[in-house]
Structure 1
Amino acid sequence: MKRVNLVLQSKGGVGKSLFLWFIAQVEKENKTAFIDLDESTETSATRLGSIVGESRVRHFKILNENKKLEREKILNLFETLAETKTDNWFIDFGASESEEFRRLLEFDISAKGLSDELKDLGIELRIFIIIAGRDALISCLRYYNAMKVVISDAIPFVALMNEGTFGGLESIEQGANALTNAGIEFKKFGGLGESESARDVIRLITEQKDPSSLNFAGRLTYKKGLEQVQKILE
Structure 2
Amino acid sequence: MSDKNNKVKYNLKNAHYALLTVGEDGAVSYAAPVPLPGSVSLSLDANGEPENFYADGIAYYVINNNMGYDGDLELALIPESFRTDVLREKLDAKGVLIENSDAELALFALLFEFDGDVRHIRHVMYNCSASRPKIEGKTNEEKKEVQTETLTIKATPLSDGKVKAKTGNTTDATVYADWYKAVYLPAADPASLQADNGGKSVVDAAGNGKALS
* Structure whose alpha-carbon radius of gyration is higher: 2
For normalisation by structure 2, the TM-score amounts to 0.25
Structure-1-length-normalised TM-score: 0.23
Q: Which has the higher strand share?
A: 2
Pick the structure with more helix per residue.
Answer: 1
